[in-house]
Amino acid sequence: MDPIRYDPTGVFVAGGITREDVAAIMPKVDAARREVLTDAELWRTGGPVPPAQEPLDAGFIELPDRLLAEYQKNRATSELGRILAAGRRLADEVDRVLVLGIGGSYMGARALFESCCPPYYNELARSERGSRPRVYFEGNNVDNDVTQGVLDLLGRDRVAAGVADRWGIVVISKSGGTLETAVAFRQFLAALRQSCGGDAKQAARLVLPVTGQSGRLHDLATALGCGEIFNIPDGVGGRYSVLSAVGLVPAAVLGLDVVALLEGAAAMNVRFRAAAAGDNPVLDYVAVCHQFEAKRDAHIRVLSTWGKSLEAAGMWHDQLLSESLGKHERGATPLTVVNTRDLHSRGQQHQQGRRDKLITNVIVDRPRREPLAVGRSDLDQDKLNSLAAKTVPDIMAAAIAGTNRAYGEDGRPTADLHLPRLDEASIGQFFQMLMLATAVEGRLIGINPFGQPGVESYKSHMNAILRGERT
């Protein structure tokens, strides 16, 4: 597997911080790594969590290795085997799937969809989709008109006549009680039952629930008669759950290479545990980000994705960093940009605005498809014949180098994170690297990276308002 590569040279060139600054903090970052590994060990052994460390959601670290090991031992009956079989079965039976979930129960699956499926996937014919269904992400908002639009799309009261007309639901909620997802599930489930002509058993076959060991969704799925309920293990927090059933069930429905995804994450674990600073993307990234914030008072972390398929991966990271470290009036602010698009919107501010940003470029080294040339034309009014032999990747490479140079000349630091190509193995490494980095940074700055007490506040007010209670 080609490894992803973190190169912070631009940060040093632009005079943001020095290599010595990074070396100086490394012993503390390394100590934070050991703490995180101890957290992981606690999850593996099921040892009691000291109250001061609650909540401790470090289960994401060993999860990929555990899922792969079980699968190698027992293909059909392992959790991964069951996820793959259920995904395949649903894909064979329907041509549209709604994935319902919000926050950590949504963003990772969407990132996988956008980065690993062909562009405009839902527009393709079923054969071009590998006989897999179209996928729509809902239950992540409360938008009346969008819900109505989706019901229109699904055919409202129409009884599905065959695969092309039939649709299903993957509903994901760890707590099982999140209002946005629960309301959407109730509404779409009613429509699904109608589309199955009132056949409750058939409707249950077309629902794949992913939830915790107990809770309202678990109870509902049981009452509905769903054949399988996929579990989100205790100790795996929402925004750290993309490599559990939360991301894997939608990925299996889409026919993605789930094994390669987990192998990517497992490979990152190996590097995290064993590699020395300088060759350890997690440690190096944390040290640079932390020192940049500490020494330059720069609180904004721009994840600058190059290309159109990584926007959702950036949004996934926005949530990961915000909910994990945005506590006690601290924590860097993440911001995803998609370039070259956003060079024409945010670029001005990044070049000449406040000096409060560290930019990390996410660069895909090789495109999946043949490079497309600009091409020669008998209409050269656009003056592009001089670039006729250049390809789209050539233009992208020039844009990246040119932007880094422009920022560097103005003392605006940029680091580069290289993904060898956009595929499951790279994305698995990317997810695991950033989840590990977030946990390590939390330990480094003394903020528990797990739990999100601030999010509970809006939920309780919203519920009280809806039920006419005073708060």
Is 344 catalytic? The answer is: yes
Least distance (Å) between residue 239 CB and ligand PA5: 4
Which of these is catalytic: 28, 390, 418, 459? 459
Shortest Cβ 103–ligand PA5 spacing (Å)? 3
Q: Is 459 a catalytic residue?
A: yes
Rounded distance, CA 232 to CA 306, Å? 32
300-306 vs 357-366, strand pairing mode: parallel
Shortest CB 219 distance to ligand PA5, Å = 14
430 vs 450, beta carbon nearer ligand PA5: 450
Residue 73 is a catalytic residue: no
Q: What residue ranges bind ligand PA5 (CB under 6 A)? A: 102-105, 173-175, 178, 181, 237-239, 323, 452, 455
Helix or strand (DSSP H, E) at 338: strand 333-339
CB distance 313 to 364 below 8 Å: no
Smaller CB separation from ligand PA5, 40 or 102: 102
Among left, alpha and beta (phi > 0; psi -120 to 50; other), residue 332 is beta
Residue 6, SS3?
strand
Report the residue number, 95 or 180, with the smaller CB distance to ligand PA5. Answer: 180
Distance of alpha carbon 437 from alpha carbon 431, whole angstroms? 10
To ligand PA5, the closest distance from the beta carbon of 142 in angstroms equals: 14
The whole-angstrom separation of Cα 130 and Cα 145 is 31
Q: Is 81 exposed, middle or buried (0-12, 13-18, 19+ CB in 10 A)?
A: middle
| Residue with Cβ nearer ligand PA5 (178 or 305) | 178
Residue nearest to ligand PA5 (CB): 238
Torsional sign, CA 155, 161, 165, 170: positive
Percent helix, percent strand, percent coil in the chain, to nearest 5: 55, 15, 35
Distances (CA, A) of 137 to 96, 167, 258: 11, 13, 19
Which among 433, 438, 427 has a CA at the least distance from the CA of 113? 427
**Closer to ligand PA5 at the Cβ: 4 or 226?**
226
State in angstroms the smallest separation of the CB of 229 from ligand PA5.
14
Which residue of the set 323, 327, 357, 424 is catalytic? 323
On the 0-12 / 13-18 / 19+ scale of CB atoms within 10 A, 164 is exposed
> Least distance to ligand PA5 from the beta carbon of 1, Å?
28
**Of 139 and 413, which has the nearer Cβ to ligand PA5?**
139
Helix axes 79-93, 258-274, angle to 10 degrees: 150
Name the residues annotated as catalytic: 323, 344, 459
